[in-house]
Structure 1
Amino acid sequence: MATQPALFDSATHARRWIDDYKAHAAARGDVLCGAEEAPWLAMFEELAALVGDDLAHARERVQRHAADIGTGFRIIGEADERPWPLSPVPLLIDGDEWGSIERGVIQRADLFETILADLYGEAKLVARGLVPAALVAGSPFFLRQLVGLNPPGGHQLHFLAVDLGRGPTGEWRVLADHLRSPTGAGYALENRLAVSRTLGGLQARLNVARHAPFFAAFRDGLAASCRRSDPRIGLLTPGRYNPSYPEQAHLARYLGLLLVEGADLAALEDKVYVRTIGGLKRIDALWRRLDPRFLDPLAFDTHSKIGVPGLIDAYAAGNVLLANTPGVGVLESTAWNAFLPQLSTRLTGADLSLPNIATWWCGQPSERARVEEDLANLLIAPAFGNGTLGLPADAAIAGSDLTAEQRATLLADLARRPQDYVGQEIVRLSTMPVVAGDTLVARPFTLRVFAARGPDGRWTVLPGGFARIGEHPDPRAAVMGDGTWSADVVVHGSKPVDLVSLLPASDSHQIRRNPGTLPSRVADNFYWLGRYLERGEALLAVIRVMLGNSIDADGGAALGSETIGRLAGLVAAAGAAPLPLALRRSDLTQMARTAMEASDGWQSVAEINQQARRIGNGSRDRLSADMVRLLDAPFPSHRGMLDRAGSLQRRYAAIAGLCAEHMSRTAAWRFHDLGRRIERATAIVRATRTFGLPGASLDDLSTLLDLADSQISYRQRYLTGLARVPVVDLVALDPGNPRALAFQVERIWEHLCALPVLDDDGMAEEQQAEATELKALVSIARAATLDDETLGAIERRLSRLSDAIARRYFLQGAEPLRAGGLTLA
C-alpha cells in the first residue's frame, strides 16, 4: 500500500506554498512561475523543515540572524541605524542563466576600462566625435586634475556594481552602473550568512556557488597591484554617519583590511601612512568608499575636512593604489547609456550582451525632439545625477506622472539646458515570491551584481549579489525605487561546489597571534569608550546611593543631611545636574531625574550613554555584535527611578563582563581597560576626598564603601564596625581590592609597560614615567596619614597621565608627523 505524505511534513507545506503562490501570481514574468520547479521546491522544503507552516516566523528568524551578524543601515538625515530588511526567500538563478549574466558584466567592465583609459589619456573618443565633449566636461565627476596620470597597477577600475532588471520575458537589462564607490557587496555577504544559518541544508541540495572565492580574488588583486610584497591595505570610509558604514565595517573585518578614515592617514614625501600607536605605518592601497571630491583638499574640494592632504600626490607618484581611481564616476551618468552600444561595437567588435535601457540624451537636438514628442511614455531623469531645475525633487519621474504645471516647468528647463536631461524607456520588472504576513506574494525586484579584478588582472563576478524587492506590486522600475526588502541570490547548478572560505585551513602552519596594526583613532575610541562607560557607572552609583538612602529607604535610618549634601555635590561637580535649592525629598528627586535623563547640556547618565554609543558605532569592525547591541539599547523606561537605575547598572555590568571575558588581550583592549582604570581611579580619589578625610561620619564611611562597591569586603574583613583608617585603606590603598585606587594604578602601569614605544634606547617615555611616579606615590601612602593634599596630587597626576597617553598614542593633525623618533614603516 502506498504511504500517504504526513499532513504536516515539510514537502506538504512547500507544495502548498508554491501552488497557492502560482494561483495568485502573474504567470508571465514571475521567476517561480516560469522556472524549473525542483530547485524552488527544495528551498521551500528547507524553510518548512525549520518553521513548519509559519512563514511569518521564517521572516522573523532570518531577520534575527541578520541582527546577530550586525547588519544595519542608516537613512541620510537619521541618527539611528535601521535593521537590514532581509527576506527569508532567496532568489534562485540557474547556473547556465547566471553564466550569461557573468559574461555580460565582464564585457561591460572591460568596456568601461577602455573608455576610462581614453578619457584620462589621449581622448580620441571625443576627438573622433564618438563621444560628445559635453558628456565628459559636463559631468561633475570628471576630474581634470587626473588627466595624463597613469594609475598605480595600470587599471582605473578594480571593483564595480551593476543593477539589472529582468523583463517579463526573462531577458536581463542594465538599469544602472556604480563605479565611484559601489555599495552592497557587504550586504550580499551578510544576506548569505543570515540565509545560510536559516536554510543550512540548501547548500548541499542545490550546489550553491560560494562568495568566498570572489572576495579572496579581490583582496589578492589589490595586493598584486601594490609595489611591496607584503602590502598594507585599508578600506577608506567616510565614517560612522555614512549610510552604509555597518556594511563597510563588516567588509573590512571579513577581508582583513584596516578600516580607516581620512583623519587616520597622513601623506608625507609622496607616501601615505596610517597613524598608529606604534607610529606612522605605510599604507599601500586604499579601497575607498569616500566621495572622490573629498579625497584630497589640496587637489579637489578645498573645504573637505575628511580627506587626506597630499593623497593625490602620492597616487601620482605611484606609491598608493586607489580602488577605484578617482574620476571613474564620469561613466555613471545615465547619458552614457545612449552611447555605450555604439562604443561597444566600435571598441570591442561585439554588441553588448547585457543591453542598456533604451536611452536618449537630450544634449543632441534630434534626441531632445524625440523625448519631447513622447514625453508621456518615457522616464525623464537627470543626465548627471543631480542639478536639474525641471524635475520634482531633482529625481527621475515617469512623464505620465507629471502634473500640467510640472510638465511646463520641465519643458521650459529642457529648452534652456537640454544637456541636463535624458529620456529612458520605462522598464517593467519580473516578480519573485516574498513573505508578507503569513503568505507568499509576488513583488518586483532588481538584482545588483558585483565584479572585482583578481590577482591576474582579470575580472571575477560574485555569484549572486543581492536582490532589492519592491514594496508594491507595480512592476515599473521607476516606481519601485530602491525597494524595501532585500533577498539573497542563490546561483545553483548540477555540479558539487568546492568548500572555499577566507578563513585559514585548520592545519595551516601560518599562525598569527598579533592582531595587526591599531590606528591611533581606534585606540582613542577604545580609551574613551572605557572612560565613558566607567564614568556613567560611577555617576549612577552616586545617584543610587542618594536615592536609596534618602527617598526610598525601606528600613534603617536614612543618611544624614551632610552626607546627602556631599552626594549632591558630587553630582553637581560632575556637571550632571545643578545643586538643589534644598535637600528636601522633591528637590533631590528632581536632581536625580536631571542627572539620569537630561539632554540639554548636562553630562547626565543618558548623555554619557549616548557618547559611548557614538564611539561604539564608530568601532563596529572591532566590537562584537553583543557589545554593539548593549551600547545601542534604548534608555530604560521603567516607572520608578531606582528601577531605571538598577536596569542601567545591570547593563553596565553586562558590558564590563563582555570586555573582561570576551575581548582578546590586544592593544585595543589595553586602551579600553586603561580608560576604565583611569576613570575609576579618578572617581575613587574624588569619593575618598569627599567622604574619607579625618572627621568623616559613619554615614560618610558607609557611603564611601557603597561608591567603591566594597561593603561586603569590609564586613568580611572587619567585624567591629566602621572605622575611617581601615575603610580608607580598603578603598584607596589595598592592591588586592579590584575597586581600590591602588589596584587601578597597578593595572595602568602594567598596560603602559606592555604598549609599544617609539625609541629603542631603553628610557621610559613620558606616559610610562608618569605612571611609575603615580605608582610610587600610591604604594608609599598610608591610610592614617592620607590627606586631601596627597589625594589632590594623585588626582592631578591622573589627569597629567591621561594627557600624556593622548599625546603619545592618539596622533592627530600635522604636528606629530615629523616628531623625533616617530617610526616610519
Structure 2
Amino acid sequence: MATLAAPSLLDPSIHAARWIADYCGRRQPGDVLCSDIGNPAWAAMLEEIANVTGEELTEARERVQRQAEDIGTGFRIAGEIEERPWPLSPVPLLIDAEEWKGISAGIVQRADLLEHIVADLYGEAKLVEKGLIPAALATGSPFYLRPMAGMEPPGGRHLQFVAFDLGRGPTGEWRVLADHLRGPAGAGYALENRLAISRAFGGMQAKLNIERHAPFFAAFREGIAAACRRAEPRIGLLTPGRYSISYAEQAHLARYLGFLFVEGPDLAALEDKLYVRTIGGLKRIDALWHRIDPRLLDPLALDSHSQIGVPGLIDVMAAGNVVIANAPGAGVPESPAFAAFLPRICARETGRDLIIPNIATWWCGQDRARKAVIEDFDNLLIGPAFGTQPLGLDGMTPRPGAEITGDARKRLFDDMERRPQDYVGQEIVRLSTMPVVTDEGLVARPFTLRVFAARGGDGNWTVMPGGFARIGAEADVRASVMGEGNWSADVAICGDEPVPAVSLLPSTDSIHVRRNPGTLPSRVADNFFWLGRYLERGEALLNIIRVMLGNSIDADAGGALDADTIGRLVGLVIDGGGAKKPANLKRAELIQFARTALESEETHSVRAINRLARGIGKGSRDRLAADFVRLLDAPFPTRGGMLDRAGSLQRRYAALAGLSAEHMGRTAAWRFHDLGRRIERALTMARAVPAFGSPSAGSDDLSTLLDLADSQISYRQRYLTGIARVPVVDLVALDPGNPRSLAYQIERIVEHLRALPVLGDDGMEEAQQTEAIKLNAMISTANATRLSEPVFKNIERRLYSLSDAVARRYFLQGAEPLRSPGMTLA
C-alpha cells in the first residue's frame, strides 16, 4: 500500500503555519488574523507568499516594494519637493465577503445621508429649521461656499465620489473615523496596491477569490458620464500640479480611467462652456473630477487669490454645462464637528440608526457639549472643529487631553472660552491590529481602512470592494497615536465563489477602433517640446566635455588638442552658461572647468539641465513610459572619475533617445518631443560649424567638429584621403542623409510642423510653418564653400524665431486671446 510522503521543510504550508503560530503567540486582543484564525484564507494567502519568496518574509517585502516602484507609485509630504516611494506591506488585510456586505451597506447609507445634508444646506435648509443642524455649524464652516447657495449642480447630485476612514475595534466592530468629501484621495493607491500585490504574488487573486476593483472604476466612469449633457463627454481630472502630495496617484488614475489630466491654466471658460486649450484649439470639457481645494476652483466666484483655478468655472456649472465632482461646497459635513449631529439627523430623517456609527463627538460650540468636554477633558481627544488650526492647539492633529498640560492647557482653555466653536472633543478609539512585515518578522500593528464609494450610471452608489489600509509604525493601538500611518496594505475581499476576470477595458468586439490618440493639451505639448530640448542640450554639453576630457586631459587618449581648439570648446561651454571662463587653459584649470560644467549646482551644467528634464518628466508621468521616467529620475552618477561619470550619463542619454525613437507612439506628443530635439540639435550645429569649420580651421578643429557631430565614422567611410574643411562642413551642415547634420534637423522640423494641426481652414501656411520652410530652402540651396560665420548667425537667429513661433501657436501664453480667427470650437 502506498504511503503519504511527509511534508517537506520547503513546503509553503509549513512556513505559513509557523508564521501564524509565532505571530499569534504574541497576539494582541482583537487582532484580525488571530481572531479569524480558522479562516483558511489567511493560511492560503501566507502560503502563496511563502511559495514565491520562501521562508524569508523580508524578501516578500522587498519584492512588493520593487513592484510598487516599477508602477511609479509615490507620494509627497507637504512642504517637500521630492517624492517618496509608496510604502506597501506584502501582507494584505483580508475581509470576508459576508462581513463586507455589512460594511458596504453602511457606506451607502452614509453617502446617501451626506448627499441629503449637502443638498438641504444649499437648498431649503430644512435641517437648520428643524434644529437638527445649528446654523453656525454650517455657515460658519470654511467649507461652506455661499456662491453655491440655491444652485443645483448638473446631474442633480452634489456628491459623485466619497471616501471614509474606518477603524475596527478590538471586538470587531467598525466605526467611521473621518469623512472625505471635498477631493477624496487614495483610490489610485488602492488600485496600485492591488496591481503590485498581483504582480508579486500572481496566484493570490484566484486562490482567495478576491473581488476586483475594475467594476467599481467602470461604474464611476459611467456615473460621471451619465450626468453630462453630451452623449460622448470629454472628462478631465483637474490636478493642482506636480507638487500635489498625491500627484503620482492622480496621474495613474487619469491614465487608468482615460480622463484628460489637466491643470487650471489648461482650461478656459467661454460663453458658459468649459474648454481645454489644445494644440488644435479649444476643445469642450463636459466634466471635471477635481483634486484641488474647492475654494480655489474659480478666482472670480470663490477665492480671488487662487492661481490654480479657472475664472468663470462656477458660471459654466450654473449654466449646467460642466459637471464638477464633487460639487464645490459639498465638503461642509466633512468637518469633525458634524460627526456630533449625524446620528440624530440619520434617525430623524431616515427612521434608522447609522449602520456604521462614527466616533462619539462633542462640538464645543454648544454650551452643554463644551461643559461635558471640559469635565471629561483628560479622557477625550481635543481637536479642531473645522479642519483649520485654532489658536489654542499646536498643529492640526487632535491630541489626548491628558497630554495637554501646563501653559499649553491654560492657553487652550482661554481660547476655548473665547472661541468655543473652533473645538471638538472626541472619544479615544482603540484599534484592531493586523500583521505587517518588519525586520523582526511578522508583527502586529494597528490599522485604519479607507473605503470609497462612487455613483454608477444609474445614480446609485457602488462601493469599491476593499480600499487600502494604513498601518501604524508603533504597537500603540490608539487611533490618535497612529495618525497617518507609516505603511499601506492592500485590502482583499475574499469569498467562496470564483470571481469573474473583469477588466475596466471593454471587450475587443464592442470597442470602436480609433487611431486618433486623443486630445493633447497645450501645456503637455509645451512640456514634451522642452523635455526634448533639455535632453538634447544636456547631451550636447556632455559631448563637449567628453571631447575636452578625452583629447586633452586623459593621458591615455593620445596627443592633446591644439590650444586654440581647446579654447573654442571652452567658449562653447561658456556661451551655454555651463561654467565661467577659466583663468588659463592649463591642465588643472581645465579639469576644474570641466567638473563645473558637468556637475555644478550653480551653473547651467549637465546636472542642472538634467534636473530641469527630470522636473518635466515628473509633471508628464501620465503620458511617459515607466522606463522613461525611471531613467529621468536616476540619480546623478558620483562614482569613478569624470570620464566614467560622463560615460554613464552618455549611455543614459542614448537610452532615453532610443526609448523616444522606438517606443513612443507617433502621436502629436512625440512630434513635439522630437521637434524640441531637432531645434536644439540644429542650434548646436549652427554654433559648432563656424567655431571649428572656418576657412582657417586646422585638423584638430575639423576632427573636433566631427566628434561633436558624432560623424567620424561617416566621414572616414566616405573620404579615404584624409580630413579637409569643405567635405567636413558639407557632411555636418548640409548633408540631408546625415542624421546629425543641420540639414537633416531642418527637414525633420518641416515634416513635424506639416503634420501638426492648424487653426485655420484656408489652406495657408501658419507662421511657424513659413519660418521652417524658408529655413529649409536656405539650407538646401547652400554650398559648403560659401558658408560663413554671418550665415550661421542668421541661421541661429532664425531657429530662435522658429521656436518662438511654435510657442506662440501651440503653447499657453498667459493673456493670449481665447479665440483665434477661423478657429472652430469642438
The equivalences for 1:189-268 within 5 A come to 189-268=191-270
Distance in 2 (alpha carbons) for counterparts of 1:134 and 1:702? 80
Deviation per CA, 1:167-225, whole angstroms, max 9, x where unpaired? 00000000000000000000000000000111211221121100000000001111110
Aligned-partner residue type, residue 86 of structure 2: W
The equivalences for 1:678-693 within 5 A come to 678-693=679-694
Q: 2:115, 2:158 within 8 Å by CA — same for their partners in 1?
A: yes
Q: Which residue of 2 aligns with 1:717?
A: 718
Q: State the shift of 1:30 in Å.
A: 3.4
Q: Which residue of 2 aligns with 1:635?
A: 636
Q: 2:29, 2:170 within 8 Å by CA — same for their partners in 1?
A: no
Aligned-partner residue type, residue 240 of structure 1: R
Q: 1:54, 1:438 within 8 Å by CA — same for their partners in 2?
A: no
Q: State the shift of 1:346 in Å.
A: 1.1
Of 276, 279, 287, which aligns to 2:278? 276
Distance in 1 (alpha carbons) for counterparts of 2:511 and 2:328? 39
Q: 2:27, 2:34 within 8 Å by CA — same for their partners in 1?
A: no
Distance in 1 (alpha carbons) for counterparts of 2:815 and 2:226? 31
Q: 1:595, 1:604 within 8 Å by CA — same for their partners in 2?
A: yes
Q: Secondary structure at the match of 1:302?
A: coil
Distance in 2 (alpha carbons) for counterparts of 1:35 and 1:453? 36
Distance in 2 (alpha carbons) for counterparts of 1:28 and 1:595? 61
Percentage of matched positions with identical amino acids: 69
Deviation per CA, 1:250-278, whole angstroms, max 9, x where unpaired? 00000000000001000111111000000
Of 559, 562, 580, which aligns to 1:560? 562
- 1:624 counterpart = 2:645: no
Q: 2:30, 2:172 within 8 Å by CA — same for their partners in 1?
A: no
Q: Secondary structure at the match of 1:392?
A: coil
Q: 2:30, 2:169 within 8 Å by CA — same for their partners in 1?
A: no
Q: Which residue of 2 aligns with 1:705?
A: 706
Distance in 2 (alpha carbons) for counterparts of 1:76 and 1:306? 17
Deviation per CA, 1:729-782, whole angstroms, max 9, x where unpaired? 111111111111111111111111111111121111111111111111111111
Deviation per CA, 1:626-663, whole angstroms, max 9, x where unpaired? 11111111111024111111111111111111111111
Q: Which residue of 1 aligns with 2:349?
A: 347
Q: Which residue of 2 aligns with 1:758?
A: 759
Aligned-partner residue type, residue 60 of structure 1: E
Q: Secondary structure at the match of 2:425?
A: strand
Q: State the shift of 1:555 in Å.
A: 4.1
Normalised TM-score (structure 2): 0.99
Q: 1:66, 1:194 within 8 Å by CA — same for their partners in 2?
A: yes
- 1:733 counterpart = 2:729: no
Q: Which moved more, 1:751-760 or 1:27-36?
A: 27-36
The equivalences for 1:571-650 within 5 A come to 571-600=573-602, 602-650=603-651
Q: State the shift of 1:789 in Å.
A: 2.1
Q: 2:469, 2:491 within 8 Å by CA — same for their partners in 1?
A: yes
Q: 1:616, 1:631 within 8 Å by CA — same for their partners in 2?
A: yes
Q: Which moved more, 1:511-520 or 1:245-254?
A: 511-520
Of 48, 61, 77, which aligns to 1:75? 77
Q: State the shift of 1:665 in Å.
A: 0.7
Q: Which moved more, 1:650-659 or 1:812-821?
A: 812-821
Q: 1:759, 1:821 within 8 Å by CA — same for their partners in 2?
A: yes
Distance in 1 (alpha carbons) for counterparts of 2:288 and 2:775? 42
Distance in 1 (alpha carbons) for counterparts of 2:753 and 2:417? 69
How many residue pairs were aligned? 824
Normalised TM-score (structure 1): 0.99
Q: Which residue of 2 aligns with 1:136?
A: 138
Q: State the shift of 1:404 in Å.
A: 2.1
Of 23, 40, 51, which aligns to 1:49? 51
Q: 2:31, 2:444 within 8 Å by CA — same for their partners in 1?
A: no
Q: Secondary structure at the match of 2:643?
A: helix
Q: Which residue of 2 aligns with 1:665?
A: 666
Q: 2:472, 2:486 within 8 Å by CA — same for their partners in 1?
A: yes
Q: 2:236, 2:288 within 8 Å by CA — same for their partners in 1?
A: yes
Of 456, 471, 487, which aligns to 1:485? 487
Aligned-partner residue type, residue 433 of structure 1: P
Distance in 2 (alpha carbons) for counterparts of 1:640 and 1:504? 53
Aligned-partner residue type, residue 87 of structure 1: S
Aligned-partner residue type, residue 703 of structure 1: T
Q: Secondary structure at the match of 2:704?
A: helix
Of 161, 174, 177, which aligns to 1:175? 177
Aligned-partner residue type, residue 721 of structure 1: G
Q: Secondary structure at the match of 1:681?
A: helix
Q: 2:760, 2:821 within 8 Å by CA — same for their partners in 1?
A: no
- 1:462 counterpart = 2:438: no
Distance in 2 (alpha carbons) for counterparts of 1:180 and 1:288? 9
Q: Secondary structure at the match of 1:468?
A: strand
Deviation per CA, 1:804-825, whole angstroms, max 9, x where unpaired? 1111111333423022122311
Q: 1:273, 1:282 within 8 Å by CA — same for their partners in 2?
A: yes
Q: Which residue of 2 aligns with 1:653?
A: 654
Aligned-partner residue type, residue 127 of structure 1: E
Q: Which residue of 1 aligns with 2:793?
A: 792
The equivalences for 1:382-531 within 5 A come to 382-437=384-439, 439-508=441-510, 510-531=512-533
Q: Which moved more, 1:762-771 or 1:140-149?
A: 762-771
Q: Secondary structure at the match of 2:354?
A: coil
Aligned-partner residue type, residue 156 of structure 2: G
Q: Which moved more, 1:472-481 or 1:490-499?
A: 490-499
Distance in 2 (alpha carbons) for counterparts of 1:823 and 1:587? 59
Distance in 1 (alpha carbons) for counterparts of 2:511 and 2:224? 24
In angstroms, what is the RMSD of aligned CA positions? 1.1
Q: 1:32, 1:433 within 8 Å by CA — same for their partners in 2?
A: no
Q: Secondary structure at the match of 2:412?
A: helix
Distance in 1 (alpha carbons) for counterparts of 2:36 and 2:489? 19
Q: Which residue of 2 aligns with 1:543?
A: 545
Distance in 1 (alpha carbons) for counterparts of 2:412 and 2:144? 26
Q: Which moved more, 1:456-465 or 1:435-444?
A: 435-444
**Any stretches of 5+ residues in structure 2 without a counterpart?**
none
Aligned-partner residue type, residue 740 of structure 1: S
Aligned-partner residue type, residue 481 of structure 2: V
Q: State the shift of 1:509 in Å.
A: 5.2
Q: 1:22, 1:33 within 8 Å by CA — same for their partners in 2?
A: no
Distance in 1 (alpha carbons) for counterparts of 2:224 and 2:34? 39
Distance in 2 (alpha carbons) for counterparts of 1:361 and 1:403? 21
Q: Which residue of 2 aligns with 1:677?
A: 678
Distance in 2 (alpha carbons) for counterparts of 1:407 and 1:50? 53
Q: Which residue of 1 aligns with 2:295?
A: 293
Aligned-partner residue type, residue 775 of structure 2: L
Q: Secondary structure at the match of 2:519?
A: coil
Q: Secondary structure at the match of 1:443?
A: strand
Distance in 1 (alpha carbons) for counterparts of 2:396 and 2:768? 55
Q: Which moved more, 1:589-598 or 1:536-545?
A: 589-598
Q: 1:29, 1:429 within 8 Å by CA — same for their partners in 2?
A: no
Q: Which residue of 2 aligns with 1:9?
A: 11
Q: 1:277, 1:520 within 8 Å by CA — same for their partners in 2?
A: yes
Deviation per CA, 1:387-418, whole angstroms, max 9, x where unpaired? 31111224310112222222221111111111
Q: Which moved more, 1:257-266 or 1:804-813?
A: 804-813
Distance in 1 (alpha carbons) for counterparts of 2:443 and 2:728? 69
- 1:363 counterpart = 2:368: no
Q: Secondary structure at the match of 2:195?
A: helix
Q: Secondary structure at the match of 1:622?
A: coil
Distance in 2 (alpha carbons) for counterparts of 1:343 and 1:335? 14
Distance in 2 (alpha carbons) for counterparts of 1:703 and 1:787? 18
Deviation per CA, 1:479-514, whole angstroms, max 9, x where unpaired? 000000000000011122121111232444521221
**Any stretches of 5+ residues in structure 1 without a counterpart?**
none
Q: Which residue of 1 aligns with 2:109?
A: 107
Q: 1:448, 1:465 within 8 Å by CA — same for their partners in 2?
A: yes
